[in-house]
Amino acid sequence: MSEHVASPATTERRRLPVFRLQEGIGLLAILVLIVVVLSSLSPVFLTQRNLLNLLIASTTIAMIAVFTTMLMVSGGLDLSVAATAALTGVVIAETQEALGIWGAAALGVAVSALVGAINGFMVTVVRINPFITTLGMLSVARGLAFVIADGLTVPVFDPGFAQLSEGMIGPIPLPVAVTLTLFVAGWAVMRFTVYGRAMYAIGGNAEASALAGVPVQRYRFIAYLLSGLSAGVAGVFLTSRLYAAAPQAAQGYELTVIAAVVLGGTSLAGGKGSLVGTFIGVLILAALTNGMTLLSLSTDYQQIIQGIVLLLAVGLDQIRVGSLGRLAAMRT
Amino acid sequence: MDNNRRPLLEMRDISKRFFGVPVLDRVSLDLYAGEVLALLGENGAGKSTLIKILNGDYQKDGGDIYLDGELVTLREPRDAEAHGIRMIYQELHYAPDLSVAENLLLGHLPRRGPFVDWKAVDDIARKYLALLKVNIPPRALMRDLSVVEREIVEIVKALAIQARIIVMDEPTAALAPREVDILFEIIRNLQAQNVAIIYISHRLDEIPRIANRVTILRDGKHIATRPIEDLDTREIAQLMVGRKMTERSRKTAPAAGEPVLRLERLTRPGDFEDISLTVGRGEIVGIFGLLGAGHGRLTRAIFGADTYQSGQIFINGTPVTIRSPRDARRAGIGFVPIDRKVQGLVLDMTVRENVTLANWGQLSRMGWFRRRLERANTQKWVDRLGIRMAGGVETRTRYLSGGNQQKVVLARWLEAGVKVLILNEPTWGVDVGARADIYEQLEALAAQGLAILIVSSDIQEVLSVSHRILTMHKGRISAEFSRADASEERLLQAAAGGEA
Amino acid sequence: MNRIESAPLPVPRGRQAATTISLAATFLILVVFFAWRSPNFLTAINLVNLASTLAIVGIVAIGETLVLITGGVDISVGAVAALAGVVTSVLLLNYGWPSIWLCALAALIAGTIVGLTNGLLITRFKINPLIATLGAYSIARGLAFVLSGGQTNLLNDPGFQFLGRGAIAGIPFSLLLMLLLYALFWVVLNHTPFGRNLYAIGSNREAARLSGIRVNRHLLVVYAVTGLLSALGGLINVSQLASSAPRSAVGLEFTVIAAVVLGGTSLSGGKGSLVGTFIGVIILRILDNGLTLLNISSFWQDVARGTVLLLAVGFDQIRQRWSEREARRGQ
């Protein structure tokens, strides 16, 4: 009985590798299940055209989710990403004449980087809780977007700029290719680089990392900066795809992004998570949205189902961890 | 003390094993109402295991516990509490933003109708505070109190829930001398309420002032139980240590090389003052102090994890400015902190990732890790230090034993190529076999030219590895011994503030 | 009785008092500034107008304050408010329930159920509050759209409009209701064992548990109450607009959290007061109102709100670190 006070380490050591595999497979199984159900319900679902649509529609969330994953692995959080994406779009729309479309895009992305930098400054130097910081920034960025656009949706007509979302690389639409590249690059960065290692180390144990000489605050700052930057890039693609920038664009995406990341197994407490998981998480949410549209379920149901899927995934995970832990304790 | 009375608590022939290793071997303890029993022993003697069994945290493997002559079963802390047994841990459990009175009555606030009866809260709180003659305003917020006041509130709380036996674990560890006086006054008042107290402390000098009897454990065995009048501190120290003299420490110390680390009058008022010392190439210097002597804080300051107010640090004769652990690492200083799980390791990262945590610069090119080099270097240290784990260098450090975890932290600094290694309580919570192993590694490292500073409250540890030993008392260096001159009694006395 | 005289006499609630004072100062500065810049600001009409718009955020903020004190967070409040409005109108219009008040009651129950679900997810399934209420947010918002078919429904029942637009002796009824609730919950929070236990739970959950407080049960009640109050906020909104829309109260959760945090309640739990929240709510409203009077585009209101939040919390953070440093030096 008393043994389990000291011995879970040994039992855990044995079951852990298998266990982690199960976790990924569970997520994948959910995705496969969704795909199977949707394709049996709708003949259109598995067509190439639809799948491309599905992917293109998910790129905004996906691009941001790459960097939100990194940020959350380091124990951070960014609620301002969607507002920043909208702000970037508006900046592009309003400056396209003065700067030319590409100059405007560059300015828009620079603004998003600035937003990220301010977030980083507030969190690492002033030391305000990330939730509050980025919540305030959400308000500011969204408000600025409305102010700059005067509340209006502004068209962005430029054939070259539109190519950003309509162009193809071989059979793959450009935004999808960019997103995939970001995922692959991000995955490699998280696995093989100093920066990725820093994210896991800081999220896992910030104090120990600092005592090992890791410049904790610098890396956290960079993570917020990149998060803002990614929102800007996503904003550029969104604007290109819609031929317009609207201050209310991407409303609520911050929560969808977090849902996708958490669905993918990244912990809000930091230290754990992977881009593979996030990738599957994004696909699950995208497939759900798309499938329900095909089934002409009103978009209204999508939110409900998304919420249920999120809670089921996280909740089942908790239950499994709990019951397996209890089993392990009983066995010893 | 009326010895004809029946004891309030009897623990008879308590045994306990961890992983087959006996930690307690038929230990007995009795406790009478209204007395203070000091429970003494070195780290690893079995004190805390015994206490945790009493509190229902651990289950005994053998023996019986009687309360008022009746056999009791203590399966969990709640059982212990129901029997009036209350632990006061070093880490206090309180709600900082509630008042003293509310903390005293937490979970049992008196009501009048649906509301809190604040008058009753005040009255009850005042009553208990007055019982122990405590003058803390019941409406003050806990967070505004000093450490000793919070501890006292915790004691009063024990009284308020009708505790008959209160166990105090190192209650004076974080206290200033004046505060210790206050605490002792409270403990005497507690005795007057007929409460029995088990008092655990490493500060031998305070034992005669507060205890009625002492029970001494060594290596999991009961050594002696005597009235305090029959013993002086020196005898207590001897009983704690036993006749065993560590053979390894009797080797003559090698001659120290040129100074690598030199501190000159390093000071942070209230924590450590006027600390000057040198550690030479190939030398192991030990600093021995009782808990709260300031030696732990000194190490953090040298490493840049805390600040110092004045004084200077020299490395190889050159003054260095150290404001952060990064500065320290750059200057060639490594630091093995006291709590490896909180401050040392990223538990969910692998052995490889933890070993290389302080050496990213050399193991990466353009920000990308050189995986093969990283793995090879880690393997090298794993082999050299004999780090053992089930799954190779990709095992998460969470699943390593305490000794192996400590070696991982050690390996990190060797990998970073430091010239000076500072260790704060290096074998805290490490079992005996692994300890000897770590000491041997340290000696080998010193022989290769590393300068090592070990800071510890464990006298055996300091004696067995150090070439030279300093003692600290109240933030100052109180004595210095060569390896040949040092003995446990002399160290204990010097650390307790007595003459060496 | 004189053993501890040498100890520094504690200043009860010192820190909280300082926060409240700086809040009050912010409040005054805003009032003075707007009164100076706009002649219409301090008129009776404007003040009544301002007061009548306090209730929605104000009432929902009560629940959020409780949640934050326990160390949690609830971001489903806006969705619950919208759902409550939709439930009311759908039951009345589509299902032909006889009385709008009966529908409103059902809406309040629906809100409570969402809150209870949040509580269960957090206590039983041990899901992080942010994630749990994020899920609930999605579901509640989606339900609002599904039930209403995405439609805005007119609801101009004169009796029901009293809730949001009525006045008693010139004072808006919704404001009175809000003041009543603040008084009620102030008493609960400060003078009942339940309320005090919430602080204990937020400040040290382990200590609370060890003291025999049923932590889970308390959390369940807190989230349920928050659901209920959010639904009430939603009903007031419907009453004021004389219509219900599934997309109403978008972003309400963020405004509410901003107001509560502005009021000095800590995200890490254990600290906070309804007085602070009250002032926080008023500050945000005055900001909106004042900017409107100054003919500054309403779009600036979001910017101003976020900026005030960041500045207030930032200054507070810096001040706290300062006083801690001072305290350390003083020792």
List the strands of the sheet with B476-482, edge to edge: B333-336, B420-424, B451-456, B284-289, B468-473, B476-482
Contacts of C44 (CB under 8 A, 6+ apart): none
pLDDT digits (tens, 9 = 90+) for B199-208: 998 777 788 8
> Chain B neighbours among C 197-236 (CB < 8 Å)?
197, 199-200, 203-204, 206-208, 210-213
Collapsing DSSP to helix, strand or coil, B72 comes out as coil
Reading the block at residue B319, the tokens are 């003054």
Chain C positions touching A135 (Cβ under 8 A) are 254, 257-258, 306, 309
Q: How far apart are CA C174 and CA C52, in angstroms?
A: 6
Distance separating the N- and C-terminal Cα atoms of chain B: 34
* Mean pLDDT value of segment B234-261: 69
What pLDDT sits at residue B500? 41
What's chain C's Rg over C-alpha atoms?
A: 21
A66-70, C79-83, C135-139, C248-252, range with the lowest pLDDT: C248-252
Q: State the best of B73, B346, B389, B430 to mutate against chain A, taking most chain A CBs within 10 Å.
A: B346
Q: State the best of A132, A138, A267, A296 to mutate against chain C, taking most chain C CBs within 10 Å.
A: A132
Contacts of A174 (CB under 8 A, 6+ apart): A163, A164, A165, A166, A167, A168
Establish if B396 touches chain A: CB-CB under 8 angstroms.
yes
The pLDDT-based confidence of C63 (bands split at 50, 70, 90) is very high
What pLDDT sits at residue C4? 37
Q: What is the CATH number of the domain that holds A324?
A: 1.10.3470
Is the per-residue pLDDT at B252 higher than 80?
no
Q: How far apart are CA B500 and CA B472, in angstroms?
A: 12
Q: State the best of B324, B357, B369, B423 to mutate against chain A, taking most chain A CBs within 10 Å.
A: B357
What is the identity of the amino acid at B143?
R
The pLDDT-based confidence of A329 (bands split at 50, 70, 90) is very low
Establish if B280 touches chain A: CB-CB under 8 angstroms.
no
What pLDDT sits at residue C302? 81
In the block, residue with structure tokens 């209920």? C228
Chains in touch with B (≥3 Cβ pairs < 8 A): A, C
In the block, residue with structure tokens 């030096």? C329
Establish if B20 touches chain A: CB-CB under 8 angstroms.
no
Contact yes or no for B93 and C192 at CB 8 A: no
Chain A positions touching B364 (Cβ under 8 A) are 193-194
Establish if C151 touches chain B: CB-CB under 8 angstroms.
no
List the strands of the sheet with B259-268, edge to edge: B272-280, B259-268, B310-315, B318-320
For residue B2, the 8-state DSSP code is -
Chain B positions touching A17 (Cβ under 8 A) are 391
The shortest CB-CB distance from A304 to any of C138, C267, C313 is to C138
Q: Residue ranges of the domains in chain C?
A: 41-319
ipTM over 0.85: no
The answer to whether B9-241 and B257-495 have equal CATH topology is: yes
CB count within 10 Å of CB C268 equals: 10
- Closest CA of chain B from C15, distance in Å: 10
In the block, residue with structure tokens 């005090």? C196
The shortest CB-CB distance from C134 to any of A146, A255, A305 is to A255
Reading the block at residue C116, the tokens are 């209870």
The shortest CB-CB distance from A200 to any of B349, B360, B371 is to B349
Contact yes or no for C331 and B270 at CB 8 A: yes
Chain A positions touching B357 (Cβ under 8 A) are 201, 208-209, 212, 214
Higher local confidence (pLDDT), B175 or B215: B215
Contact yes or no for B342 and A1 at CB 8 A: no
Chain A positions touching B303 (Cβ under 8 A) are 211
- What DSSP assignment string belongs to B221-251? EEEEEEEGGG--HHHHHHHHH-S---SGGGS
Establish if C268 touches chain A: CB-CB under 8 angstroms.
yes
A6-20, A196-210, A258-272, range with the lowest pLDDT: A6-20
Closest to C61 in 3D by CA, of C237, C233, C270, C243 = C233
Q: How far apart are CA A109 and CA A239, in angstroms?
A: 12
Tell me if A81 sits within 8 A of A231, measured CB to CB.
yes
- Closest CA of chain C from A272, distance in Å: 15
Closest to C265 in 3D by CA, of C252, C256, C253, C274 = C274
Collapsing DSSP to helix, strand or coil, B390 comes out as coil
Altogether, the residues listed in chain A come to a count of: 332
Closest to B103 in 3D by CA, of B29, B34, B62, B154 = B154
Is the per-residue pLDDT at B383 higher than 50?
yes
Contact yes or no for C270 and B141 at CB 8 A: no
* Mean pLDDT value of segment C35-60: 87
What pLDDT sits at residue C292? 85
What pLDDT sits at residue B433? 66
- What DSSP assignment string belongs to B308-353? -SEEEEEETTEEE---SHHHHHHTTEEEE-S-IIIII--TTSBHHH
Task: Please give the class, per CATH, of domain B9-241.
Answer: alpha beta
pLDDT digits (tens, 9 = 90+) for B411-438: 999 999 999 999 998 877 676 667 778 8
Interface of A with B (CB under 8 A): 1-2, 5-7, 9-10, 12-13, 16-17, 192-195, 197, 200-201, 204-205, 207-215, 271-272
Torsion of CA B84, B88, B92, B93, to 10 degrees: -10
Q: How far apart are CA C326 and CA C328, in angstroms?
A: 5
What pLDDT sits at residue B253? 66
Contacts of A326 (CB under 8 A, 6+ apart): none
Is the per-residue pLDDT at A316 higher than 80?
no
* Mean pLDDT value of segment B1-7: 65
Establish if C130 touches chain A: CB-CB under 8 angstroms.
yes
The shortest CB-CB distance from C126 to any of A135, A150, A318 is to A318
Range of the domain at A63: 3-331
Chain C positions touching B186 (Cβ under 8 A) are 3
Is the per-residue pLDDT at A272 higher than 60?
yes
Is the per-residue pLDDT at A224 higher than 90?
yes
Helix, strand, coil percentages (3-state) for chain A, rounded to 5, are 80, 5, 15
Interface of B with C (CB under 8 A): 77, 93-99, 102, 106-109, 111, 114-116, 118, 130, 133-137, 139-141, 143-146, 148-149, 152, 178, 182, 185-186, 270
Q: How far apart are CA A285 and CA A303, in angstroms?
A: 10
Q: How far apart are CA C264 and CA C313, in angstroms?
A: 8
What is the identity of the amino acid at A309?
V
Closest to C57 in 3D by CA, of C218, C168, C181, C221 = C181
Distance of CA B262 to the CA centre of its chain: 27
What pLDDT sits at residue C313? 79
Strand partners, B337: none
Higher local confidence (pLDDT), B356 or B235: B356
Contact yes or no for A210 and B398 at CB 8 A: no
Q: How far apart are CA C143 and CA C81, in angstroms?
A: 12
Establish if A184 touches chain C: CB-CB under 8 angstroms.
no
* Mean pLDDT value of segment B168-180: 77
What pLDDT sits at residue A30? 83
Integer angstrom CA distances of residue A229 from A107, A232, A238 = 12, 5, 14
Q: How far apart are CA C163 and CA A170, in angstroms?
A: 61
Is the per-residue pLDDT at C29 higher than 60?
yes
- Closest CA of chain C from A30, distance in Å: 17
Tell me if B39 sits within 8 A of B32, measured CB to CB.
no
Reading the block at residue A160, the tokens are 């070259």
What pLDDT sits at residue A324? 46
What pLDDT sits at residue A326? 44
Contact yes or no for B337 and A211 at CB 8 A: yes
Sign of the dihedral defined by the CA atoms of residues B359, B363, B368, B369, in that order? negative
Q: How far apart are CA C174 and CA B27, in angstroms?
A: 70
Contact yes or no for B96 and C197 at CB 8 A: no
What pLDDT sits at residue A321? 55
Contact yes or no for C2 and B135 at CB 8 A: yes
pLDDT digits (tens, 9 = 90+) for C217-276: 999 999 999 999 999 999 999 999 888 888 888 778 888 998 998 888 888 888 889 999
- Helix axes C215-241 and C55-69, enclosed angle (nearest 10): 170
What pLDDT sits at residue A209? 95
Is the per-residue pLDDT at C208 higher than 90?
no
Contact yes or no for B348 and A271 at CB 8 A: yes
- Closest CA of chain B from C326, distance in Å: 14
Residue A75 φ/ψ, nearest 5 degrees: 90, 10
The shortest CB-CB distance from C306 to any of A138, A259, A300 is to A138
The pLDDT-based confidence of A318 (bands split at 50, 70, 90) is low
What pLDDT sits at residue A332? 29
Tell me if B466 sits within 8 A of B483, measured CB to CB.
yes
- Helix axes C14-37 and C274-293, enclosed angle (nearest 10): 20
pTM for the predicted model, two decimal places? 0.82
CATH T-level topology, domain C41-319: ABC transporter involved in vitamin B12 uptake, BtuC (1.10.3470)
Contact yes or no for C7 and B145 at CB 8 A: yes
Most confident of A171-175, A252-256, B133-137: A171-175
What pLDDT sits at residue C184? 97
Contact yes or no for C317 and A137 at CB 8 A: no
The pLDDT-based confidence of A211 (bands split at 50, 70, 90) is very high
Helix (H) or strand (E) run with residue B127 in it: helix B118-131
Contact yes or no for B107 and C211 at CB 8 A: yes
Domain covering B257-495: architecture: 3-Layer(aba) Sandwich (3.40)
Count how many Cα atoms sit within 13 Å of the Cα of residue B276 in the half-sphere of its side chain: 4
Percent of chain B with pLDDT over 70: 93
**Among all residues of chain A, which has the CA nearest to that of C132?**
A311
- Closest CA of chain A from C1, distance in Å: 43
pLDDT digits (tens, 9 = 90+) for A97-133: 999 999 999 999 999 999 999 999 999 998 888 988 9
pLDDT digits (tens, 9 = 90+) for B435-486: 778 888 899 999 999 999 999 887 878 888 899 999 998 889 989 998 888 8
What pLDDT sits at residue C331? 42
What pLDDT sits at residue A23? 56
The pLDDT-based confidence of C19 (bands split at 50, 70, 90) is low
What pLDDT sits at residue C2? 35
**Among all residues of chain B, which has the CA nearest to that of A211?**
B325
Q: Residue ranges of the domains in chain B?
A: 9-241, 257-495
Helix, strand, coil percentages (3-state) for chain B, rounded to 5, are 35, 25, 35
Residue contacts between A and B (CB atoms, under 8 Å)? 90
Chains in touch with A (≥3 Cβ pairs < 8 A): B, C
* Count of structural domains within chain A: 1
